[in-house]
Amino acid sequence: MTQEAQKTPAAPAAPAAPAAKKQHRMLKISILRYNPQDPDSVPHMQTYELQESDSMTLFIALNDLRNEQDPTLQFDFVCRAGICGSCAMLINGKPGLACRTLTKDLPTEFTLAPLPAFELIGDLSVNTGKWMRNMSERMETWVHMKNEEIDLRRKEVPMDPQLAEDIYVLDRCVECGCCIAGCGTVRVRPDFIGAVGINKIARFRLDPRDERNDADYYEVVGDESGVFGCMSLLACHDFCPKDLPLKTQIAFIRRKMAEQGMGNYDKVLPTQKKSIPIKPITQ
């Protein structure tokens, strides 16, 4: 090849073809509408059409509907990051969080409804806080310590890192109500504490700062409204948006409460409450 040929400039590349514009789907969202505060309101399904956008979540879709089409649409949200649990609802018949559900994972037509088992505020908004508060008061879900007076100057006792991690795993519950909405036992026993209540008992049972033992826990969870009412359908485990080990905790607490119940525990004799301690009893 001659020197002139080497200096010959290459032919310019052909311009790239313009990228095809992405086609977005047109969604049809059917929402159960009902306002219990309005005597003229009746439950009915109302269908909205909305063009899908990139990375659209169900939370974004609902906000677009309320801002652009129907300002009367009621639903709840706070954090938009799967932390508060406020936006839980039935998505195509299954409990889930709107802020963590991508519309691309749903069909073009789908339905939304409020969570069952909770007091309805309106449309997709339910009062999970009232239910959770009642459950927490029944289960006494707080650290029970012998020292009634708190000494803020006292140095806190270090906790084993693995134990702290185990407690943290159970403490990630956001009380969204998805486990209650998917629970078959709640449908037949409205007083059932559900997986969320049993999980809380498991969490405080692990906590070394809590002075209670299995006999104490048996008083609040050892009946059919507690751990023995569970029918082991385990929809709670399947629908938990935080992937908590609910089935493991339910089975474990049930076994421990069965051991306690067969240990000649007598509620009439409060002095005999330490038959199966969860930790060494200090006198």
Residue 268 located in a structural domain: no
My answer on whether 68 and 117 are in the same domain is yes
List, for residues 264-279, the tens digit of each pLDDT value: 554 444 434 333 334 4
Residue 281 located in a structural domain: no
My answer on whether 111 and 53 are in the same domain is yes
Q: Which residue has the tokens 């409020």?
A: 114
pLDDT, position 10: 60
Question: pTM for this one?
Answer: 0.82
| Structural domain boundaries enclosing 68 | 26-126
Contact between residue 79 and residue 87 where contact means Cβ atoms under 8 Å apart:
no
Residue 185 located in a structural domain: yes
Distance, in Å, from the CA atom of 195 to the CA atom of 230, rounded to the nearest integer, reads: 9
Q: Which residue has the tokens 């994972």?
A: 105
Residue 153 located in a structural domain: no
% of residues, the chain, pLDDT over 90? 77
List, for residues 187-220, the tens digit of each pLDDT value: 999 999 999 999 999 999 999 989 999 999 999 9
What is the number of structural domains in the chain?
2
List, for residues 151-186, the tens digit of each pLDDT value: 788 888 889 999 999 999 999 999 999 999 999 999
Q: What is the CATH classification number for the domain harbouring 205?
A: 1.10.1060.10
- Give me the helices (H) in the chain, please: 3-7, 58-68, 128-139, 161-170, 178-181, 184-188, 194-206, 214-221, 235-239, 246-261
List, for residues 218-264, the tens digit of each pLDDT value: 999 999 999 999 999 999 999 999 999 999 999 999 999 999 988 75
Q: Which residue has the tokens 């134990």?
A: 163
Distance, in Å, from the CA atom of 17 to the CA atom of 170, rounded to the nearest integer, reads: 53
